[in-house]
Structure 1
């Protein structure tokens, strides 16, 4: 009975989610509170909870699992709270301050704000050591490496108890020998320290980005190294037959050795699995253009897939640090169930980004919180079950919610508590819609062409209101929505990125050969790495991307292409792809202008087996799941109406619920505003359609 289970673990800021899948398509979700001080404790607690509910002991589960996957916020939390390792930087003399100069301006959105403070430096000035060496943009050596400078830096670092060292020299990607020699000296003098070499971690042209990426990686390496060692040891003690896989920000799985060495790839690993889950849900309907929104207790994360590919961003400022390596583009804002409502200096109602978190939590939790939050507003509007959340294990106090909204918002604004609650609901939704526009409209996509996919425990109450605001008329809500990222992990593939710098105009047979040969080398390395991880060639797939620009442009844009042999004639295909992408992003192209390539990259994936799909029995009609009615408010008048409430666990495949209504699942609540219709399909997904589109939907979508 080997390989009976697959386990996905997603550690979030408030909850850690566990998804347990078995061979027969049984999928179950479990939640436990995250333990940020001791991340492995939440895993132990979760496995104990699974044993309590299923009778399967941790040893039986892990020793019979084909895969245990961990998506972790350990790196993310260390970056947010600035609790990484003490890090030193060895840079080309005169370039020690590139991470502080930051290309000469603040991040987008704050460029002209004189009061916006500078970012906290991960490497303080006294731990940034310049060494004499210089490589020119041609790749030739102008000044040889001064090895004594490197030794002096090591002695300085030892005196200050530095635990991790980043090495990043100017133009090192064209001539890595100096960085490699410096690393050898550091290893010799500081044997216990972790080393990050810029030209190996991020072999791309752009000195500031490469140095900043190397520094972030070095800052996180000791912490993530300790974490994966602890998790690996714990699972080995339980009899794991397969190594634990870790989820990366690029949307793929990796072995612990890779994550420990390149933790910068695991920073945003939690929400990065959402696109994979979304595509899996959409598969039955042939849907490939999906926006996923995930609202938890603290934050709201948005991801987008177009044509079956997730939006990948690279060279971005993440938490104020420039990171070059490719990450699934996740737009995050402080809008969760715990977001606090307040009145600004203009007398206007605002929501967040401050959050009540899980301690003390929203006022209605009755744990001492007295600030009005999103959850309190949803309770006053009638959307949440006053009997409590998580199957009644978390009771809610309506009176405390009303009191908090009255005291802080309704009374000062001179409006009713109901109107204030609907105002809070509307403002939170508007904040979320603005963020959705950032991943869609601002990247050349029209949200009305997409389906909205609901993830996270708190999203269901807002999902139809968000769709209405965006002009989207179709929504997917899985029964597993509140643990969708953990589910995304157990159906993901292994994925590694390989990069090289190539600065050349897209002209001539020489450039074509150079591009072709370099891509082939990168992909051969990918094949070798995946073969070592037991993947046959038939399970390996490749996606290429090139950073290109018009000659004379300052910034390049990334163009994704399928692999093909590049000869001189094929350069025209690359140019055409670039003109097309440039037009999508900036509304114009210049087909007559010469094009140059700056960097190239291959993403190499190894396909994993998928567990069987969840199936649910046919329903007896929605009336069989009716629990009764509740007073709910659906517009700014603040007037409540009697609204039907259904129990999700009693609905079966084919059952249809007409809005206005609420469907109460164990770990989420789905609010259907007037005009929406929900149908549960046999794979446990609610398909929500806006009234006037139901007829077309039924014609166009017969589930596979």
Structure 2
């Protein structure tokens, strides 16, 4: 680290987390309630908490930060709520409806459901304007661009108050001149709009995917631009010496301008940093197969890392919109501390996906919430401290939690409040376990081969129950669990993805030369970008991949290769890597069939110096950290068990706690269920293991 501090900020649906690391390796964690109406307000509130603890004003802290990193849900929330900008689309005439045709099918799981409603279009039909132009699959121009059509589209957009425009033409990846000229006309006639060119944002084949990606980007760009502008201005007012970095869905950092131009990369900004953090906290234990779960106030996010490599998705339907750019594979469901319990028409208890969020929040927050949530259930069962969360900064009302559960669930179902609360706990756990199975069992992985890493403020109360249900024997739970995604940001690198279309059969020297030429072109862009950002040659790392298939196949698979000159001598390594990957995915390969490349991609990293690793000293033993006992519920019968409550702050490395127990850290509460043991490691994480006889 070049300066005294590094700051990571992760804005969630309920809380915004702040992680401040210093040169010595000390890491401090702070939490402020999120402010969806003005996300920058939560940042100001969080910095006020940091200033209070350090005794130093924010305008002295920020100039001493080598990096200030922001993970945000602004783009995601705009897409979920359909509150993006008013967008227009200019496309090849006759292709105005490709967004609604959606390649002729619905999403997986609903393909044969005639009652499943169509997706809401981000660009309404009257704002999708076709223009005369046509490029063939050879790159040859069949119909020149009709500039009058583009100008007519701009007149419509101007009259309708369009804020942002996407341009996507057929085969523009082979001949982008038409898109570029159309973009020049848009900038001339609509100088205030944000412009997205499909051939620049996603220069790969598949017209629908490229158009959809461009539209999503355009839809979010003005929202992200306003957010980035506000955040950048605020940090500059505090004397920031470095530009704010923003976390991308691909698992890397980017400057604000890149996030504005490539807003689609901001969609999963927050949870995308979880795998990096999960791998980091597991390093001291030699674990590389990791499932990281993050339960916040609103959602539950799951990521999987196998052999130290995190799954990357491309060409997926996210929130019903096709997105082609690479994204960390995150399984998200509506299960958080604010998830609301309710009774369905069959008289059965359900949990979520509706959430109380931060406003009004769970009933126990005392901010007007009346419906029972997961946090209310955890308070009723004795898991949470009735004196409050976040070191007492967030007071809790046991009575309001009790009344919410009793009125809405216990009395209607003729249950005791304790049994109803445990039922809420069990159901939300089952929902989360099903999500874990989707990223493991349904993709060919055995979850019992993985370590479970807990992230998020609410996860620690559920982590041993989740591991029990899924059959996992080992849990790593950092003291920083509630801000683990923010911590993941400060240990991540700057990362940009560059792509090119290369529809070539691997049969000639000309094909090999073309691939090598394209790699050199796109990598030169990335290197120049990073050098402008202050990175030097030794800090720039490049990883390559290709989308390949056998001639005649419809779909391709992504193959990673090393950095070498692609020519007649090295092409054998490329083809061999494809055969191997094809066999891994589909259990067979065809070594005698002709192979073709569809797209190429280079991921360019600016390697950031990492902060020193956190260490825990001797501290006190477990028996000296017991501060109270509470009656807690650990079974469906609702019976309460006298449970020791440990203060996690003074615990030293090696302290060992046997369940049932509750460990109260400043920003999270760890429930150690019967049959589990937690040992605090010097790296700052609890290593939790199932007793040999098995948990309850």
Structure 2 length normalisation: TM-score?
0.96
Question: Does structure 2 retain, via aligned residues, the 8 Å contact 1:662–1:670?
Answer: yes
Question: Does structure 2 retain, via aligned residues, the 8 Å contact 1:228–1:260?
Answer: yes
Deviations 1:343-372 (A, max 9, x none): 223333221111122223223333333322
Residues 681-696 of structure 1 aligned to structure 2 (within 5 Å): 681-692=681-692
Aligned partners of 1:196 and 1:405: how far apart in 2? 49
Do structure 1's residue 309 and structure 2's residue 309 form an aligned pair? yes
Bigger shift: residues 285-294 or 196-205: 285-294
Aligned partners of 2:456 and 2:466: how far apart in 1? 14
C-alpha change, 1:573 and 1:674, in structure 2 (3 Å) is farther
How far off its partner does 1:572 sit? 4.2
How far off its partner does 1:425 sit? 1.4
Aligned partners of 1:370 and 1:576: how far apart in 2? 61
Specify the alignment match of 2:497 in structure 1. Answer: 497
How far off its partner does 1:464 sit? 0.9
Question: Does structure 1 retain, via aligned residues, the 8 Å contact 2:73–2:269?
Answer: yes
Bigger shift: residues 578-587 or 665-674: 578-587
Aligned partners of 1:693 and 1:552: how far apart in 2? 55
Aligned partners of 1:36 and 1:672: how far apart in 2? 33
Specify the alignment match of 1:197 in structure 2. Answer: 197
C-alpha change, 1:584 and 1:640, in structure 2 (3 Å) is farther
Aligned partners of 1:71 and 1:496: how far apart in 2? 16
Residues 123-272 of structure 1 aligned to structure 2 (within 5 Å): 123-272=123-272
Query: What secondary structure, in the 3-state scheme, does the structure 1 residue paired with 2:251 have?
Result: coil
C-alpha change, 1:400 and 1:192, in structure 2 (3 Å) is closer
How far off its partner does 1:113 sit? 2.5
How far off its partner does 1:591 sit? 4.8
Query: What secondary structure, in the 3-state scheme, does the structure 2 residue paired with 1:284 have?
Result: helix
Aligned partners of 1:307 and 1:573: how far apart in 2? 22
Residues 434-445 of structure 1 aligned to structure 2 (within 5 Å): 434-445=434-445
C-alpha change, 1:630 and 1:591, in structure 2 (3 Å) is farther
Deviations 1:490-542 (A, max 9, x none): 11100000001122334444333332332232222222221222212211112
Query: What secondary structure, in the 3-state scheme, does the structure 2 residue paired with 1:36 have?
Result: coil
Aligned partners of 1:568 and 1:592: how far apart in 2? 17
Specify the alignment match of 2:364 in structure 1. Answer: 364
Aligned partners of 1:225 and 1:364: how far apart in 2? 36
C-alpha change, 1:594 and 1:432, in structure 2 (3 Å) is farther
Specify the alignment match of 2:36 in structure 1. Answer: 36
Question: Does structure 1 retain, via aligned residues, the 8 Å contact 2:31–2:390?
Answer: no
Specify the alignment match of 1:425 in structure 2. Answer: 425
Specify the alignment match of 1:299 in structure 2. Answer: 299
Specify the alignment match of 2:55 in structure 1. Answer: 55
Question: Does structure 2 retain, via aligned residues, the 8 Å contact 1:443–1:585?
Answer: no
Deviations 1:101-123 (A, max 9, x none): 11122222222223322222111
How far off its partner does 1:293 sit? 0.5
Specify the alignment match of 1:26 in structure 2. Answer: 26
How far off its partner does 1:586 sit? 4.2
Specify the alignment match of 1:478 in structure 2. Answer: 478
Deviations 1:554-576 (A, max 9, x none): 33232333333433464443344
Query: What secondary structure, in the 3-state scheme, does the structure 1 residue paired with 2:360 have?
Result: coil
Query: What secondary structure, in the 3-state scheme, does the structure 2 residue paired with 1:650 have?
Result: coil
Question: Does structure 1 retain, via aligned residues, the 8 Å contact 2:65–2:240?
Answer: yes
Give the root-mean-square deviation of aligned CA atoms: 2.0
C-alpha change, 1:693 and 1:445, in structure 2 (3 Å) is farther
Aligned partners of 1:583 and 1:419: how far apart in 2? 50
Residues 281-430 of structure 1 aligned to structure 2 (within 5 Å): 281-430=281-430
How far off its partner does 1:206 sit? 0.7
Question: Does structure 1 retain, via aligned residues, the 8 Å contact 2:473–2:689?
Answer: yes
- In the alignment, structure 1 segments of 5+ residues that lack a partner are 695-704
Specify the alignment match of 1:596 in structure 2. Answer: 596
Aligned partners of 1:495 and 1:194: how far apart in 2? 23
Aligned partners of 1:37 and 1:384: how far apart in 2? 29
Specify the alignment match of 2:669 in structure 1. Answer: 669
Aligned partners of 2:562 and 2:684: how far apart in 1? 34
Query: What secondary structure, in the 3-state scheme, does the structure 1 residue paired with 2:121 have?
Result: coil
- In the alignment, structure 2 segments of 5+ residues that lack a partner are none
Query: What secondary structure, in the 3-state scheme, does the structure 2 residue paired with 1:645 have?
Result: strand
Aligned partners of 2:344 and 2:578: how far apart in 1? 45
C-alpha change, 1:449 and 1:592, in structure 2 (3 Å) is farther
Deviations 1:174-219 (A, max 9, x none): 1111111111111222222221110000001010110011111111
C-alpha change, 1:590 and 1:692, in structure 2 (3 Å) is farther
Deviations 1:612-668 (A, max 9, x none): 122222133111111232222223333322222111112111111112211111110
C-alpha change, 1:348 and 1:589, in structure 2 (3 Å) is farther
Aligned partners of 1:349 and 1:585: how far apart in 2? 40
Question: Does structure 1 retain, via aligned residues, the 8 Å contact 2:13–2:358?
Answer: no
Aligned partners of 1:409 and 1:551: how far apart in 2? 59
Query: What secondary structure, in the 3-state scheme, does the structure 1 residue paired with 2:692 have?
Result: helix
Query: What secondary structure, in the 3-state scheme, does the structure 2 residue paired with 1:531 have?
Result: helix
Number of equivalent positions? 694
Structure 1 length normalisation: TM-score?
0.95
Aligned partners of 1:31 and 1:687: how far apart in 2? 24
Specify the alignment match of 2:619 in structure 1. Answer: 619
